[in-house]
Amino acid sequence: MSHTPGIIDDRTWPALLPPALEDFIAYWRALASAAGGVPPKTAVDPMRIPPHLLPHIGLVEAQPNGDLESGTRLNLRFRLLGTGHRRATGRDYSGRRFDDLYTPEQVLAFEQEYRAILLGGQPSFARRSSLKQNREFIIFQRVLAPLLDECGQPRHVIGYWHWENLES
């Protein structure tokens, strides 16, 4: 992955994750086990997500212009971001397209990353920085995992963000 503002090139899984990230991975793996593979988005029931995870959960939709494998644009959109995101960054990105939020270089890097997650069928770890409303950078660790749409296509990503400098 190229170095672009706000993207730290650190995708190696650490030996020890914060407990909430471990809990999120266990939640996704339970969904995957019940589905016999990548779970459908319909399996995500907010009433069954452990309550301590909800504020930091996010859902991203990917709408490719063509076949996912072809490398066409993904048109990424934050469908939902929990209140923990708003508290950490001072902004609410729910419903916003990545094209409206990031530079073209960042969007391209995100599209490559999300495509790999959708095609790979497994969770992905990264440690990143985000710019708060007051122009201060904050660091977070996050895990993203794929979900299938109603036609069985990988078109959604669910994630958990652990903000390092905030209370969990």
- What would the pLDDT profile of 29-72 be if each residue is shown by its tens digit? 999 999 999 999 999 999 999 999 999 999 999 998 888 888 88
pTM: 0.88
Of the listed ranges 3-7, 67-71, 81-85, 157-161, the one predicted with least confidence: 3-7
pLDDT over threshold 90, residue 138: no
Give mean pLDDT, residues 99-126: 94
pLDDT-based confidence at 5, cuts 50/70/90? Answer: very low
Using the structure block, give the residue that is written with the tokens 């909800």: 54
- The alpha carbon of residue 105 and the mean position of all alpha carbons in its chain are separated, in whole angstroms, by 18
Residue 27: other Cβ atoms inside 10 A: 19
CA dihedral 46, 12, 118, 25 (to 10 degrees): -20
pLDDT (0 to 100) of residue 135: 66
Q: How far apart are CA 162 and CA 68, in angstroms?
A: 28
Give dist(CA 34, CA 16) in Å, integer: 26
Strand order, beta sheet including 76-81: 76-81, 57-62, 154-163, 137-148, 124-131
Q: According to the model, what pLDDT value does residue 137 have?
A: 80
- Does 74 have pLDDT greater than 90? yes
Output the pLDDT for position 6: 44
CATH of range 19-43+51-163; options 3.40.50.300, 3.30.450.20, 3.40.50.150, 3.40.50.720: 3.30.450.20
